[in-house]
Structure 1
Protein backbone atom coordinates (compact mmCIF):
# COMPACT_ATOMS: atom_id res chain seq x y z
CA UNK A 1 0.00 0.00 0.00
CA UNK A 2 1.00 3.60 -0.45
CA UNK A 3 -0.21 4.93 2.91
CA UNK A 4 -1.70 3.72 6.20
CA UNK A 5 -2.90 5.99 9.01
CA UNK A 6 -2.59 4.76 12.61
CA UNK A 7 -4.51 6.61 15.35
CA UNK A 8 -3.66 6.17 19.01
CA UNK A 9 -0.05 5.65 18.01
CA UNK A 10 1.32 6.71 21.40
CA UNK A 11 -0.81 4.19 23.32
CA UNK A 12 0.45 0.83 24.55
CA UNK A 13 -1.02 -1.10 21.61
CA UNK A 14 -0.41 1.63 19.04
CA UNK A 15 3.25 1.60 19.99
CA UNK A 16 3.38 -2.16 19.37
CA UNK A 17 1.72 -1.76 15.96
CA UNK A 18 3.82 1.05 14.50
CA UNK A 19 6.70 -1.09 13.27
CA UNK A 20 4.67 -3.93 11.68
CA UNK A 21 2.30 -1.47 10.02
CA UNK A 22 5.27 0.45 8.62
CA UNK A 23 6.17 -2.71 6.72
CA UNK A 24 2.71 -2.85 5.10
CA UNK A 25 2.89 0.52 3.34
CA UNK A 26 5.27 2.96 1.71
CA UNK A 27 4.20 5.60 4.24
CA UNK A 28 2.86 5.28 7.79
CA UNK A 29 1.19 8.35 9.27
CA UNK A 30 1.04 7.93 13.05
CA UNK A 31 -1.20 10.27 14.99
CA UNK A 32 -2.07 10.85 18.63
CA UNK A 33 -3.04 13.70 20.92
CA UNK A 34 0.34 13.08 22.57
CA UNK A 35 3.53 14.64 21.30
CA UNK A 36 5.90 12.93 18.87
CA UNK A 37 8.24 10.34 20.41
CA UNK A 38 12.00 10.78 20.27
CA UNK A 39 12.49 8.46 17.29
CA UNK A 40 10.43 7.58 14.24
CA UNK A 41 10.62 4.74 11.75
CA UNK A 42 12.22 5.54 8.37
CA UNK A 43 8.89 5.80 6.53
CA UNK A 44 6.84 7.18 9.44
CA UNK A 45 5.40 10.67 9.85
CA UNK A 46 3.96 11.82 13.19
CA UNK A 47 1.04 14.23 13.42
CA UNK A 48 -0.27 15.47 16.77
CA UNK A 49 -4.04 15.70 16.44
CA UNK A 50 -7.24 15.57 18.49
CA UNK A 51 -9.68 12.87 17.38
CA UNK A 52 -12.61 15.04 18.44
CA UNK A 53 -11.67 17.75 15.91
CA UNK A 54 -12.65 16.83 12.35
CA UNK A 55 -10.45 19.50 10.79
CA UNK A 56 -7.39 17.89 12.42
CA UNK A 57 -8.30 14.32 11.40
CA UNK A 58 -9.63 14.85 7.88
CA UNK A 59 -6.35 15.96 6.22
CA UNK A 60 -4.54 12.87 7.52
CA UNK A 61 -6.64 10.60 5.32
CA UNK A 62 -5.64 12.15 2.01
CA UNK A 63 -3.97 9.52 -0.17
CA UNK A 64 -4.38 6.71 2.38
CA UNK A 65 -5.79 3.28 1.63
CA UNK A 66 -6.56 2.27 5.21
CA UNK A 67 -6.80 3.67 8.70
CA UNK A 68 -6.07 1.55 11.76
CA UNK A 69 -8.12 3.29 14.43
CA UNK A 70 -6.77 2.56 17.93
CA UNK A 71 -7.21 6.05 19.38
CA UNK A 72 -9.54 6.45 22.37
CA UNK A 73 -9.75 6.97 26.09
CA UNK A 74 -9.16 3.39 27.26
CA UNK A 75 -11.26 3.29 30.43
CA UNK A 76 -14.73 3.94 31.74
CA UNK A 77 -15.39 7.64 32.41
CA UNK A 78 -18.46 9.84 32.81
CA UNK A 79 -20.20 10.04 29.43
CA UNK A 80 -19.24 13.68 28.67
CA UNK A 81 -15.53 12.78 29.02
CA UNK A 82 -15.86 9.97 26.46
CA UNK A 83 -18.13 11.80 24.03
CA UNK A 84 -15.35 13.66 22.20
CA UNK A 85 -12.53 11.12 21.86
CA UNK A 86 -14.52 7.87 21.74
CA UNK A 87 -17.82 8.75 20.07
CA UNK A 88 -17.21 11.88 17.98
CA UNK A 89 -13.65 10.70 17.31
CA UNK A 90 -14.91 7.46 15.77
CA UNK A 91 -17.36 9.37 13.58
CA UNK A 92 -14.60 11.74 12.47
CA UNK A 93 -12.37 8.83 11.45
CA UNK A 94 -15.10 7.07 9.46
CA UNK A 95 -16.39 10.23 7.81
CA UNK A 96 -12.92 11.43 6.86
CA UNK A 97 -12.03 7.98 5.54
CA UNK A 98 -15.20 7.95 3.47
CA UNK A 99 -14.63 11.42 2.05
CA UNK A 100 -11.12 10.49 0.93
CA UNK A 101 -12.11 7.14 -0.57
CA UNK A 102 -10.23 4.85 1.80
CA UNK A 103 -10.77 1.16 1.37
CA UNK A 104 -11.06 0.04 5.00
CA UNK A 105 -11.13 1.01 8.65
CA UNK A 106 -9.52 -1.50 11.04
CA UNK A 107 -11.00 -0.62 14.41
CA UNK A 108 -9.95 -1.44 17.96
CA UNK A 109 -13.29 -2.46 19.39
CA UNK A 110 -13.42 -4.27 22.72
CA UNK A 111 -14.88 -7.13 24.71
CA UNK A 112 -16.76 -4.40 26.58
CA UNK A 113 -19.21 -4.13 23.66
CA UNK A 114 -20.49 -7.50 24.93
CA UNK A 115 -19.13 -7.27 28.47
CA UNK A 116 -22.34 -8.19 30.31
CA UNK A 117 -22.59 -11.58 28.63
CA UNK A 118 -21.85 -14.45 30.99
CA UNK A 119 -18.49 -16.21 30.70
CA UNK A 120 -20.26 -19.53 30.14
CA UNK A 121 -22.58 -18.26 27.39
CA UNK A 122 -20.35 -19.46 24.50
CA UNK A 123 -20.53 -16.03 22.91
CA UNK A 124 -19.54 -15.64 19.26
CA UNK A 125 -19.64 -12.77 16.79
CA UNK A 126 -23.40 -13.23 16.26
CA UNK A 127 -24.24 -12.33 19.87
CA UNK A 128 -26.04 -9.02 20.24
CA UNK A 129 -24.42 -6.09 21.99
CA UNK A 130 -24.49 -6.04 25.82
CA UNK A 131 -22.18 -3.17 26.76
CA UNK A 132 -21.00 -3.01 30.35
CA UNK A 133 -20.12 0.72 30.49
CA UNK A 134 -20.27 3.99 28.58
CA UNK A 135 -16.86 2.91 27.26
CA UNK A 136 -18.36 -0.33 25.94
CA UNK A 137 -21.32 1.56 24.52
CA UNK A 138 -18.90 3.64 22.44
CA UNK A 139 -17.59 0.41 20.92
CA UNK A 140 -21.15 -0.64 20.05
CA UNK A 141 -21.73 2.77 18.44
CA UNK A 142 -18.59 2.50 16.32
CA UNK A 143 -19.32 -1.09 15.27
CA UNK A 144 -22.84 -0.16 14.16
CA UNK A 145 -21.53 2.93 12.40
CA UNK A 146 -18.95 0.77 10.65
CA UNK A 147 -21.66 -1.54 9.38
CA UNK A 148 -23.72 1.44 8.20
CA UNK A 149 -20.80 3.04 6.33
CA UNK A 150 -20.15 -0.31 4.62
CA UNK A 151 -23.77 -0.77 3.58
CA UNK A 152 -24.40 2.86 2.60
CA UNK A 153 -21.00 3.94 1.24
CA UNK A 154 -18.97 0.81 0.58
CA UNK A 155 -16.29 1.56 3.18
CA UNK A 156 -15.06 -1.74 4.58
CA UNK A 157 -14.52 -2.23 8.32
CA UNK A 158 -12.96 -4.91 10.48
CA UNK A 159 -13.87 -4.39 14.14
CA UNK A 160 -11.53 -6.25 16.47
CA UNK A 161 -13.01 -6.92 19.91
CA UNK A 162 -9.80 -6.90 21.91
CA UNK A 163 -9.73 -8.64 25.29
CA UNK A 164 -6.77 -8.48 27.74
CA UNK A 165 -3.75 -7.42 25.69
CA UNK A 166 -0.52 -7.47 27.69
CA UNK A 167 2.96 -8.94 27.27
CA UNK A 168 1.96 -11.78 29.66
CA UNK A 169 -1.40 -12.75 31.24
CA UNK A 170 -1.82 -10.85 34.50
CA UNK A 171 -4.55 -12.69 36.45
CA UNK A 172 -6.82 -15.74 36.49
CA UNK A 173 -9.39 -14.04 34.22
CA UNK A 174 -6.70 -13.57 31.59
CA UNK A 175 -6.29 -17.36 31.31
CA UNK A 176 -9.28 -17.05 28.97
CA UNK A 177 -9.07 -13.45 27.78
CA UNK A 178 -5.36 -12.90 27.11
CA UNK A 179 -4.20 -11.53 23.74
CA UNK A 180 -0.43 -11.58 23.36
CA UNK A 181 1.38 -8.77 21.58
CA UNK A 182 2.48 -11.25 18.93
CA UNK A 183 -1.07 -12.39 18.26
CA UNK A 184 -2.30 -8.77 18.28
CA UNK A 185 0.25 -7.95 15.59
CA UNK A 186 -0.80 -10.94 13.51
CA UNK A 187 -4.51 -10.11 13.87
CA UNK A 188 -4.14 -6.46 12.85
CA UNK A 189 -1.75 -7.26 10.02
CA UNK A 190 -4.15 -9.87 8.60
CA UNK A 191 -7.05 -7.41 8.94
CA UNK A 192 -5.03 -4.94 6.84
CA UNK A 193 -3.69 -7.35 4.24
CA UNK A 194 -6.81 -9.47 3.51
CA UNK A 195 -7.94 -8.43 0.00
CA UNK A 196 -11.66 -8.00 0.77
CA UNK A 197 -13.52 -8.03 4.08
CA UNK A 198 -16.79 -6.15 3.74
CA UNK A 199 -17.95 -5.50 7.29
CA UNK A 200 -16.63 -7.95 9.87
CA UNK A 201 -16.33 -8.40 13.62
CA UNK A 202 -13.63 -10.59 15.17
CA UNK A 203 -12.55 -11.28 18.72
CA UNK A 204 -8.98 -10.48 19.71
CA UNK A 205 -7.90 -13.40 21.88
CA UNK A 206 -4.95 -15.75 21.82
CA UNK A 207 -5.14 -19.54 21.51
CA UNK A 208 -6.19 -19.97 25.14
CA UNK A 209 -7.48 -23.30 26.44
CA UNK A 210 -9.98 -21.41 28.63
CA UNK A 211 -11.23 -18.89 26.07
CA UNK A 212 -14.79 -17.79 26.98
CA UNK A 213 -15.81 -17.33 23.34
CA UNK A 214 -16.97 -20.07 21.01
CA UNK A 215 -15.36 -18.72 17.85
CA UNK A 216 -13.09 -15.71 17.39
CA UNK A 217 -14.59 -15.10 13.94
CA UNK A 218 -11.25 -14.24 12.34
CA UNK A 219 -10.52 -17.43 10.41
CA UNK A 220 -11.34 -15.74 7.10
CA UNK A 221 -8.56 -13.25 7.81
CA UNK A 222 -6.06 -16.08 8.10
CA UNK A 223 -5.64 -15.35 11.83
CA UNK A 224 -4.22 -18.35 13.66
CA UNK A 225 -3.28 -17.34 17.22
CA UNK A 226 -0.13 -19.01 18.50
CA UNK A 227 0.12 -18.13 22.20
CA UNK A 228 -1.71 -19.76 25.10
CA UNK A 229 -2.24 -18.30 28.57
CA UNK A 230 -2.33 -21.80 30.02
CA UNK A 231 1.45 -21.65 30.31
CA UNK A 232 0.89 -19.30 33.29
CA UNK A 233 -2.06 -21.19 34.82
CA UNK A 234 -0.37 -22.67 37.88
CA UNK A 235 0.96 -19.33 39.09
CA UNK A 236 -2.18 -17.31 38.34
CA UNK A 237 -4.66 -19.80 39.78
CA UNK A 238 -2.70 -19.91 43.03
CA UNK A 239 -3.48 -16.19 43.46
CA UNK A 240 -7.18 -16.44 42.54
CA UNK A 241 -9.92 -15.74 45.10
CA UNK A 242 -13.09 -17.31 43.61
CA UNK A 243 -16.40 -15.56 44.29
CA UNK A 244 -19.43 -16.61 42.20
CA UNK A 245 -21.39 -13.54 43.38
CA UNK A 246 -18.82 -11.16 41.85
CA UNK A 247 -19.87 -9.91 38.40
CA UNK A 248 -16.21 -9.18 37.68
CA UNK A 249 -15.55 -12.92 37.78
CA UNK A 250 -18.77 -14.05 36.06
CA UNK A 251 -19.08 -11.72 33.05
CA UNK A 252 -16.93 -11.22 29.96
CA UNK A 253 -16.19 -7.62 30.87
CA UNK A 254 -14.48 -8.49 34.14
CA UNK A 255 -14.24 -5.50 36.51
CA UNK A 256 -15.93 -3.27 33.92
CA UNK A 257 -19.08 -5.36 34.44
CA UNK A 258 -19.21 -4.60 38.16
CA UNK A 259 -18.33 -0.89 38.35
CA UNK A 260 -20.93 1.86 38.45
CA UNK A 261 -21.43 3.75 35.19
CA UNK A 262 -18.80 6.44 34.85
CA UNK A 263 -16.36 4.86 37.33
CA UNK A 264 -12.99 3.47 36.28
CA UNK A 265 -12.91 -0.18 35.22
CA UNK A 266 -9.15 -0.10 34.77
CA UNK A 267 -8.74 0.57 38.49
CA UNK A 268 -10.33 -2.82 39.18
CA UNK A 269 -8.16 -4.51 36.58
CA UNK A 270 -5.01 -2.96 38.01
CA UNK A 271 -6.01 -4.09 41.50
CA UNK A 272 -6.64 -7.59 40.18
CA UNK A 273 -3.48 -7.70 38.11
CA UNK A 274 -0.99 -5.51 39.84
CA UNK A 275 -0.28 -3.77 36.53
CA UNK A 276 -1.67 -2.13 33.40
CA UNK A 277 -3.87 -3.86 30.88
CA UNK A 278 -5.51 -2.75 27.61
CA UNK A 279 -9.01 -3.82 26.65
Structure 2
Protein backbone atom coordinates (compact mmCIF):
# COMPACT_ATOMS: atom_id res chain seq x y z
CA UNK A 1 0.00 0.00 0.00
CA UNK A 2 1.21 3.49 -0.86
CA UNK A 3 1.53 6.07 1.87
CA UNK A 4 0.11 8.94 -0.19
CA UNK A 5 -1.38 8.81 -3.68
CA UNK A 6 -1.91 12.03 -5.61
CA UNK A 7 -4.97 12.17 -7.88
CA UNK A 8 -5.02 15.17 -10.19
CA UNK A 9 -8.30 16.18 -11.80
CA UNK A 10 -9.97 14.91 -8.64
CA UNK A 11 -12.96 17.25 -8.97
CA UNK A 12 -13.84 15.80 -12.39
CA UNK A 13 -16.20 12.93 -13.07
CA UNK A 14 -13.56 10.20 -13.18
CA UNK A 15 -11.65 11.60 -10.23
CA UNK A 16 -14.81 11.67 -8.11
CA UNK A 17 -15.67 8.12 -9.11
CA UNK A 18 -12.23 6.80 -8.12
CA UNK A 19 -12.05 8.44 -4.68
CA UNK A 20 -14.26 5.86 -2.98
CA UNK A 21 -12.65 2.94 -4.79
CA UNK A 22 -8.96 3.40 -3.97
CA UNK A 23 -8.89 2.84 -0.21
CA UNK A 24 -6.85 -0.34 -0.67
CA UNK A 25 -4.25 1.40 -2.84
CA UNK A 26 -3.07 4.17 -0.49
CA UNK A 27 -3.39 5.18 3.14
CA UNK A 28 -4.00 8.80 2.14
CA UNK A 29 -5.37 10.30 -1.09
CA UNK A 30 -4.22 13.81 -2.01
CA UNK A 31 -6.97 15.22 -4.21
CA UNK A 32 -5.94 18.05 -6.52
CA UNK A 33 -7.74 20.14 -9.11
CA UNK A 34 -7.77 23.66 -10.50
CA UNK A 35 -11.10 24.13 -8.71
CA UNK A 36 -11.66 23.32 -5.03
CA UNK A 37 -12.31 19.64 -4.24
CA UNK A 38 -15.45 19.29 -2.15
CA UNK A 39 -15.83 17.43 1.12
CA UNK A 40 -12.48 15.66 1.64
CA UNK A 41 -12.83 12.57 3.82
CA UNK A 42 -10.78 11.47 6.80
CA UNK A 43 -8.19 9.78 4.54
CA UNK A 44 -8.13 12.61 1.97
CA UNK A 45 -6.26 15.89 1.53
CA UNK A 46 -7.59 18.58 -0.82
CA UNK A 47 -5.25 20.80 -2.85
CA UNK A 48 -6.13 23.49 -5.38
CA UNK A 49 -3.50 23.75 -8.11
CA UNK A 50 -3.09 25.16 -11.61
CA UNK A 51 -0.91 22.69 -13.53
CA UNK A 52 0.66 25.57 -15.46
CA UNK A 53 2.16 26.90 -12.20
CA UNK A 54 5.42 24.96 -11.73
CA UNK A 55 5.92 25.97 -8.09
CA UNK A 56 2.37 25.01 -7.17
CA UNK A 57 2.76 21.65 -8.93
CA UNK A 58 6.00 20.96 -7.02
CA UNK A 59 4.18 21.62 -3.75
CA UNK A 60 1.25 19.45 -4.86
CA UNK A 61 3.54 16.49 -5.59
CA UNK A 62 5.73 16.79 -2.48
CA UNK A 63 5.28 13.92 -0.02
CA UNK A 64 3.48 11.61 -2.46
CA UNK A 65 4.78 8.22 -3.55
CA UNK A 66 2.45 7.70 -6.52
CA UNK A 67 0.50 9.84 -8.98
CA UNK A 68 -2.73 9.21 -10.89
CA UNK A 69 -2.84 11.99 -13.45
CA UNK A 70 -6.39 12.64 -14.64
CA UNK A 71 -5.87 16.42 -14.68
CA UNK A 72 -5.83 18.79 -17.62
CA UNK A 73 -8.21 19.59 -20.46
CA UNK A 74 -10.25 16.45 -21.14
CA UNK A 75 -11.95 17.42 -24.41
CA UNK A 76 -11.09 19.34 -27.56
CA UNK A 77 -10.45 23.05 -27.07
CA UNK A 78 -8.42 26.03 -28.15
CA UNK A 79 -4.67 25.57 -28.37
CA UNK A 80 -3.77 28.03 -25.59
CA UNK A 81 -5.88 26.11 -23.07
CA UNK A 82 -4.56 22.72 -24.18
CA UNK A 83 -0.99 24.04 -24.20
CA UNK A 84 -1.15 25.18 -20.57
CA UNK A 85 -3.18 22.31 -19.14
CA UNK A 86 -1.96 19.29 -21.11
CA UNK A 87 1.53 20.13 -22.38
CA UNK A 88 3.11 22.64 -20.00
CA UNK A 89 1.11 21.15 -17.13
CA UNK A 90 2.33 17.62 -17.79
CA UNK A 91 5.93 18.77 -18.10
CA UNK A 92 5.59 20.51 -14.73
CA UNK A 93 4.15 17.33 -13.23
CA UNK A 94 7.02 15.12 -14.42
CA UNK A 95 9.61 17.65 -13.36
CA UNK A 96 8.03 17.74 -9.91
CA UNK A 97 7.94 13.93 -9.79
CA UNK A 98 11.63 13.81 -10.69
CA UNK A 99 12.57 16.42 -8.11
CA UNK A 100 10.47 14.83 -5.35
CA UNK A 101 11.50 11.24 -6.09
CA UNK A 102 8.10 9.92 -7.14
CA UNK A 103 8.79 6.71 -9.02
CA UNK A 104 5.44 5.69 -10.49
CA UNK A 105 2.71 7.50 -12.42
CA UNK A 106 -0.53 6.60 -14.16
CA UNK A 107 -0.87 8.94 -17.12
CA UNK A 108 -4.42 9.14 -18.45
CA UNK A 109 -3.88 9.18 -22.18
CA UNK A 110 -6.75 8.73 -24.60
CA UNK A 111 -8.19 6.81 -27.52
CA UNK A 112 -8.03 10.17 -29.31
CA UNK A 113 -4.33 9.53 -29.93
CA UNK A 114 -5.54 7.07 -32.58
CA UNK A 115 -8.93 8.57 -33.43
CA UNK A 116 -8.54 8.62 -37.21
CA UNK A 117 -8.30 4.84 -37.47
CA UNK A 118 -11.48 3.29 -38.77
CA UNK A 119 -13.65 1.10 -36.60
CA UNK A 120 -12.98 -1.92 -38.80
CA UNK A 121 -9.25 -1.74 -37.98
CA UNK A 122 -7.75 -3.82 -35.14
CA UNK A 123 -5.04 -1.94 -33.24
CA UNK A 124 -2.08 -2.89 -31.13
CA UNK A 125 -0.42 -0.42 -28.79
CA UNK A 126 2.55 -0.31 -31.18
CA UNK A 127 0.55 0.98 -34.15
CA UNK A 128 1.38 4.57 -35.22
CA UNK A 129 -0.58 7.38 -33.63
CA UNK A 130 -3.28 9.11 -35.65
CA UNK A 131 -4.65 11.87 -33.39
CA UNK A 132 -8.02 13.35 -34.20
CA UNK A 133 -7.49 16.88 -32.84
CA UNK A 134 -5.40 19.14 -30.64
CA UNK A 135 -6.52 17.25 -27.54
CA UNK A 136 -5.31 14.00 -29.12
CA UNK A 137 -2.03 15.65 -30.12
CA UNK A 138 -1.49 16.74 -26.51
CA UNK A 139 -1.90 13.14 -25.39
CA UNK A 140 0.62 12.00 -28.01
CA UNK A 141 3.02 14.52 -26.48
CA UNK A 142 2.24 13.14 -23.04
CA UNK A 143 3.02 9.59 -24.08
CA UNK A 144 6.37 10.70 -25.53
CA UNK A 145 7.17 12.71 -22.40
CA UNK A 146 6.39 9.75 -20.15
CA UNK A 147 8.64 7.54 -22.24
CA UNK A 148 11.53 10.00 -22.02
CA UNK A 149 11.22 10.43 -18.24
CA UNK A 150 11.24 6.65 -17.90
CA UNK A 151 14.32 6.13 -20.09
CA UNK A 152 16.27 9.11 -18.74
CA UNK A 153 15.20 9.28 -15.10
CA UNK A 154 13.65 5.89 -14.31
CA UNK A 155 10.13 7.15 -13.56
CA UNK A 156 7.77 4.29 -14.37
CA UNK A 157 4.51 5.23 -16.08
CA UNK A 158 1.46 3.27 -17.10
CA UNK A 159 0.22 5.08 -20.20
CA UNK A 160 -3.49 4.25 -20.14
CA UNK A 161 -5.35 5.11 -23.32
CA UNK A 162 -8.77 5.54 -21.78
CA UNK A 163 -11.65 4.80 -24.08
CA UNK A 164 -14.85 6.08 -22.41
CA UNK A 165 -14.92 5.76 -18.62
CA UNK A 166 -18.43 6.51 -17.44
CA UNK A 167 -21.04 4.76 -15.33
CA UNK A 168 -22.47 3.36 -18.56
CA UNK A 169 -21.98 3.87 -22.33
CA UNK A 170 -23.76 6.98 -23.60
CA UNK A 171 -23.97 6.03 -27.28
CA UNK A 172 -23.40 3.07 -29.59
CA UNK A 173 -19.76 3.94 -30.28
CA UNK A 174 -19.03 3.63 -26.58
CA UNK A 175 -20.09 -0.01 -26.59
CA UNK A 176 -16.58 -0.59 -28.00
CA UNK A 177 -14.68 1.99 -25.92
CA UNK A 178 -16.38 1.74 -22.51
CA UNK A 179 -14.42 1.08 -19.33
CA UNK A 180 -16.40 0.66 -16.12
CA UNK A 181 -15.48 2.52 -12.95
CA UNK A 182 -14.80 -0.79 -11.18
CA UNK A 183 -12.47 -1.98 -13.95
CA UNK A 184 -10.68 1.37 -13.88
CA UNK A 185 -10.14 1.14 -10.11
CA UNK A 186 -8.88 -2.43 -10.47
CA UNK A 187 -6.42 -1.26 -13.15
CA UNK A 188 -5.09 1.47 -10.85
CA UNK A 189 -4.55 -1.10 -8.13
CA UNK A 190 -2.63 -3.39 -10.49
CA UNK A 191 -0.46 -0.51 -11.69
CA UNK A 192 0.68 0.44 -8.19
CA UNK A 193 1.06 -3.14 -6.92
CA UNK A 194 3.13 -4.41 -9.85
CA UNK A 195 6.71 -5.23 -8.76
CA UNK A 196 8.02 -3.79 -12.02
CA UNK A 197 6.07 -1.60 -14.39
CA UNK A 198 8.33 0.06 -16.95
CA UNK A 199 6.43 2.31 -19.34
CA UNK A 200 3.70 0.23 -20.99
CA UNK A 201 0.84 1.51 -23.13
CA UNK A 202 -2.43 -0.06 -21.96
CA UNK A 203 -5.83 0.20 -23.58
CA UNK A 204 -8.26 1.40 -20.91
CA UNK A 205 -11.31 -0.62 -21.92
CA UNK A 206 -13.53 -3.22 -20.28
CA UNK A 207 -14.04 -6.79 -21.52
CA UNK A 208 -16.61 -5.72 -24.11
CA UNK A 209 -17.94 -8.03 -26.82
CA UNK A 210 -17.33 -5.23 -29.31
CA UNK A 211 -13.79 -3.81 -29.24
CA UNK A 212 -11.10 -2.52 -31.60
CA UNK A 213 -7.96 -2.92 -29.48
CA UNK A 214 -5.55 -5.71 -28.55
CA UNK A 215 -5.52 -5.62 -24.74
CA UNK A 216 -2.76 -8.21 -24.21
CA UNK A 217 -0.37 -5.67 -22.65
CA UNK A 218 -2.69 -5.31 -19.64
CA UNK A 219 -2.22 -8.96 -18.67
CA UNK A 220 1.47 -8.33 -17.92
CA UNK A 221 0.51 -6.35 -14.81
CA UNK A 222 -2.29 -8.74 -13.83
CA UNK A 223 -5.27 -6.65 -14.96
CA UNK A 224 -8.21 -8.61 -16.32
CA UNK A 225 -11.29 -6.40 -16.73
CA UNK A 226 -14.55 -8.05 -15.74
CA UNK A 227 -17.34 -5.79 -17.00
CA UNK A 228 -18.92 -5.91 -20.46
CA UNK A 229 -20.82 -3.11 -22.21
CA UNK A 230 -23.07 -5.59 -23.99
CA UNK A 231 -25.61 -5.46 -21.18
CA UNK A 232 -26.37 -1.85 -22.16
CA UNK A 233 -26.98 -2.50 -25.87
CA UNK A 234 -30.71 -3.13 -25.68
CA UNK A 235 -31.29 0.01 -23.60
CA UNK A 236 -29.25 2.09 -26.05
CA UNK A 237 -31.18 0.67 -29.00
CA UNK A 238 -34.44 1.65 -27.28
CA UNK A 239 -33.15 5.10 -26.36
CA UNK A 240 -31.59 6.20 -29.65
CA UNK A 241 -31.11 5.20 -33.26
CA UNK A 242 -27.82 3.69 -34.31
CA UNK A 243 -25.66 6.17 -36.25
CA UNK A 244 -25.80 6.04 -40.03
CA UNK A 245 -23.03 4.03 -41.67
CA UNK A 246 -21.26 7.20 -42.88
CA UNK A 247 -21.58 9.06 -39.56
CA UNK A 248 -18.24 9.69 -37.77
CA UNK A 249 -19.49 7.73 -34.75
CA UNK A 250 -19.85 4.70 -37.02
CA UNK A 251 -16.70 5.24 -39.12
CA UNK A 252 -13.85 6.45 -36.91
CA UNK A 253 -12.58 5.16 -33.60
CA UNK A 254 -12.43 8.76 -32.38
CA UNK A 255 -16.02 9.42 -33.41
CA UNK A 256 -17.09 13.04 -33.51
CA UNK A 257 -13.66 14.25 -32.36
CA UNK A 258 -12.56 13.76 -35.97
CA UNK A 259 -15.01 16.51 -36.95
CA UNK A 260 -14.21 19.07 -34.23
CA UNK A 261 -12.86 22.27 -35.81
CA UNK A 262 -9.42 23.57 -34.93
CA UNK A 263 -9.86 26.79 -32.96
CA UNK A 264 -9.61 29.72 -35.36
CA UNK A 265 -9.76 27.55 -38.50
Which band: TM-score by shorter chain? Answer: over 0.9
Q: What whole-Å deviation, never above 9, does each CA across 1:214-268 have from its counterpart, x for those lacking one? A: 33521112111111111122232453344232233211111111222249xxxxx
CA displacement at 1:26 relative to structure 2: 2.5
CA contact (8 A) 1:194 1:221 kept: yes
**What CA distance in whole angstroms lies between the structure 2 residues aligned with 1:242 and 1:168?**
18
Normalised by the length of structure 1, the TM-score is 0.89
**Do the aligned partners of 2:243 and 2:249 also contact (CA within 8 Å) in 1?**
no
Residue in structure 1 matched with residue 232 of structure 2 by the alignment: 232
In the other structure, the counterpart of 1:169 is 169
Equivalent-residue separation in structure 1 for 2:59 and 2:243 (angstroms): 51
| Alignment correspondent of 1:207 | 207
Q: Deviations over 1:120-157 (max 9, x none)?
A: 11011111111101001111000000000000111111
- Does the residue aligned with 1:221 lie in a helix, a strand or coil? coil
Task: Give the Cα–Cα distance (whole angstroms) in 1 for the partners of residues 247 and 260 of structure 2.
Answer: 11
What residue number does 1:65 align with?
65
**Aligned partners of 1:216, 1:120: CA distance in 2, in Å?**
19
* Mapped contact 1:248–1:257 kept (Cα < 8 A): no
How many angstroms apart in 1 are the aligned matches of 2:173 and 2:67?
Answer: 31
Structure 2 unaligned runs (5+)?
none
User: Matched residue of 1:218: which SS?
Assistant: helix
Q: Give the 3 Å change call, closer, same or farther, for CA 62–118 of structure 1 in structure 2.
A: same
Question: Who is 2:3 aligned against?
Answer: 2
Give the match for residue 126 of structure 1.
Answer: 126
C-alpha separation in 1, matches of 2:144 and 2:92: 15
Tell me the secondary structure at the aligned position of residue 35 of structure 1: coil
CA deviation profile, 1:38-65 (whole Å, cap 9, x unmatched): x222121111111111110102222321
Long gaps (5+) in structure 1: 264-279
Aligned pairs for 1:107-126 (under 5 A) are 107-126=107-126
Give the corresponding residue for 1:31.
32
CA distance in 2, matches of 1:208, 1:107: 23
State the distance in 2 between where 1:241 and 1:195 align: 44
Structural mapping, 1:190-205, within 5 Å:
190-205=190-205
Query: Partners in 2 of 1:40 and 1:122 — Cα distance?
Result: 42
Across the two proteins, how many residue pairs are aligned to each other? Answer: 262
Write out per-residue CA displacement over residues 20-41 of structure 1, whole angstroms, 9 at most, x where no aligned residue. 334322322111111130x222
Matched with 2:159 is 159
Q: How far apart, CA to CA, are the structure 2 residues paired with 1:21 and 1:262?
A: 37
Equivalent in the alignment of 1:276: none
Report the TM-score, using the length of structure 2 for normalisation: 0.94
